[in-house]
Structure 1
Amino acid sequence: MKMPASNAPPLFDRATLRHRRARVQDEALFLHRAAVDEVQDRLGMVNRTFTAPAIVTPFAHIWQDTLTGATLVADEETLALTPGTHDLVVHAMALHWANDPVGQLIQCHRALRPDGLLLTVCLGGETLHQLRAAVGQAEIEVTGGLSPRIAPMGELRDLGALLQRAGLALPVADAVPMTAEYRDLTHLMQDLRAMAETNVLTNRLKSPTRRKVFERAQSIYAEHFATPQGRLPATFEMICLTGWSPDVSQPKPLRPGSARMRLAEALGTDEGKLSD
């Protein structure tokens, strides 16, 4: 299924993203392995046996043994998903790189059978907030300006709203913060390159960054965020979204005014007027 074309320029350079993903170092993909554990934990709490799952992922080898019989789908702007085929779709650690995140969720929704589950795991707005602050301040001090350097990521409330925009029922969104520690800024940047989570903004700065920017960023990072042991903490906020393909069997909210008992009676208390 081809999604309608948009006149807006793409936020991300997907060709560069594919190129960088092709050079990842497997040992650096700890976020994806943490996402596997998170997905398995959440599915373990769902009273349902899924027989036709699909997993959208840029790294199939990480997810290939997660769900029995799962169809592994490459993370592309048009997903190779057949409408009405799956009772579970997992969109795994890729939504934060989508030029059209709503379109991604709509494609997953259309691939679901009625009462099928979509479970999405992606990075959220608190991710690398220490790095954003340090590099941003350093660039302003050294160059007098600020370039597009770190990709914007959705906040929890905004990402949860995407589920409703995609037509999914019973939406739930929550966050799982994780922290990794690094020797210095160079160590952190090396790890981000190894996991293909570096800057691929279309309008990113193409010329090399001045060394003084990174030297100043290292000082700011250490001054404001370093641990007592002198390590640099880096936050990764994992957002988990769940929504169901609508079905008549799902619970629905009651009509306003249809209650047969007042809340005060249910709580065994007296009802009174609020003071002005």
Structure 2
Amino acid sequence: MASDPNTAPHLFDRALLRARMDRARRAGPVAFLLDRVVEDMADRLQAVTRGFSDVAEIGSPGELLPWPLADRFASITRVDLDESETLPLEPESLDLALSALALQFVNDLPGVLTQIRRALRPDGLLLAAMVGGDTLTELRQSFAAAEAECEGGVSPRVAPFADLRDIGGLLQRAGLALPVTDVDRVVVRYDSAFALMADLRRMGATNILIERRRIPTRRATMLRMAQIYAERFADPDGRIRATFDIIWLSGWAPHDSQPKPLRPGSAKSSLEAAVKRAPK
């Protein structure tokens, strides 16, 4: 069952996310992470030998399928993730669901994954990439230290990100078979923390937490944050590091043709016997 959107915790202001993404598009988006994900997604799909007919792109901030691989598909539908997080997808209407750099800002991720699972035909595939893990850990630590020092307290600034184990469990909870997750860690170097924050604005990735501070940060706090960042996370040449963890997730709608785990007690030989036969 999908989570109840009325009871799922609401961490993100999705109306503000839409406004921030619109602002980023007007300013000229910074798309190096999305470009990397699109290229990697194409490579991963090339390795899948089965065909796909009906495909949906779910919530992605840009076009995922401008490359020749799209010729494999009969139809491609872009599906927006609006504030309701209700996907306009009919049951068993898709062979493939794709999503890039969108699911990290979903309030009810279990519910959205369950909706995708219902929309997949038997043996249909979900392939998605989302920001997670230790993304922006340097910025998070620098802001926390600066606020504690300058203002006597810490406010939420960087979204809490899911880790690999969380995502694997959510795929299983949604009813997807053969779940697989992995992480692509990208470390980007900047001249300063302010250059990093300018890129985040042009990604539409600034603070959209509902519990965010609603007043401007003091200039002294911002300057101290940048100083701490440079002290703790700079390379010998003075440039700072920023970590982005891209979590990849995939799972299949169950089908009789898929491999299944053995039933408990159905093994032909025991672990003890296998150990005894192992070479010394």
Report if aligned partners of 2:14, 2:208 keep a CA contact under 8 Å in 1.
Answer: yes
Specify which of 126, 130, 155 is matched with residue 122 of structure 1.
130
Is 1:18 aligned to 2:18, yes or no?
yes
Please state if 1:202 is matched with 2:204.
no
Tell me the residue number matched to 1:224.
Answer: 232
SS in 1 for 2:217: coil
Partner of 1:82: 90
Contact 1:138/1:213, CA 8 A, preserved across alignment: yes
Contact 2:13 2:209 in 1 (8 A): yes
**Structure 1 pair 236/117, CA: closer, same or farther in 2 (3 Å)?**
same
Instruction: Map 1:135-150 to 2 at 5 A.
Output: 135-150=143-158
- Structure 2: segments with no counterpart, 5+ residues: none
| 1:114-263 alignment, distance < 5 Å | 114-263=122-271
> Which residue of structure 2 lines up, in the alignment, with residue 63 of structure 1?
64
Runs of 4+ in 1 over 2 A off after TM superposition: 2-5, 57-60, 66-69, 261-272
Following superposition, the deviation at residue 32 of structure 1 comes to 1.2
SS at match of 1:70: strand
Tell me the TM-score normalised to structure 2 length: 0.90
Q: Which residue of 2 aligns with 1:53?
A: 55
1:254: how far off? 0.8
1:217-272 residue CA offsets vs partner (Å, 9 max, x unmatched)? 11111111101111111010000001110111111111122222344655773699
Residue of structure 2 equivalent to 1:42? 44
| Structure 1 spans left out of the alignment, 5+ residues | none
How far, CA to CA, are the matches of 1:5 and 1:104 in structure 2?
A: 10
Q: CA deviation at 1:216?
A: 1.1
- Whole-angstrom distance in 2 between the partners of 1:119 and 1:158: 16
Cα distance between partner residues in 2 of 1:233 and 1:65: 31
Pick which of 19-28 and 185-194 moved more.
19-28
CA RMSD of aligned residues (A): 2.1
Identify the match of residue 100 of structure 1 among 80, 85, 108. Answer: 108
Q: The residue matched to 1:23 in structure 2 has which SS?
A: helix
CA distance in 2, matches of 1:258, 1:20: 55
- Three-state SS of the structure 1 residue aligned to 2:23 is coil
State how many pairs are aligned. 270
SS of the equivalent of 1:117 reads: strand
Q: CA deviation at 1:59?
A: 2.5
2:79 aligned partner, one-letter code: V
Q: Would you say the 8 A contact 2:156–2:211 is kept in 1?
A: yes
Q: Which residue type is aligned with residue 105 of structure 2? A: W
C-alpha change, 1:65 and 1:262, in structure 2 (3 Å) is same
In 1, Cα distance between equivalents of 2:43 and 2:275: 35
Give the Cα–Cα distance (whole angstroms) in 2 for the partners of residues 226 and 245 of structure 1: 45
Distance 2:131 2:45 in 1: 19
Alignment check: 8 A CA contact 1:3 1:78 kept: no
Counterpart code for 2:100: A
Deviation at 1:104, TM superposition (A): 1.1
The answer as to whether partners of 1:53 and 1:86 remain within 8 angstroms in 2 is: yes
Q: Percent identity?
A: 47
- Whether 1:29 and 2:31 are equivalent positions in the alignment is yes
Determine the C-alpha separation between the residues in 1 that align with 2:276 and 2:5. Answer: 57
Tell me how far apart the structure 2 counterparts of residues 192 and 15 of structure 1 sit (CA, whole Å): 18
CA contact (8 A) 1:264 1:271 kept: no
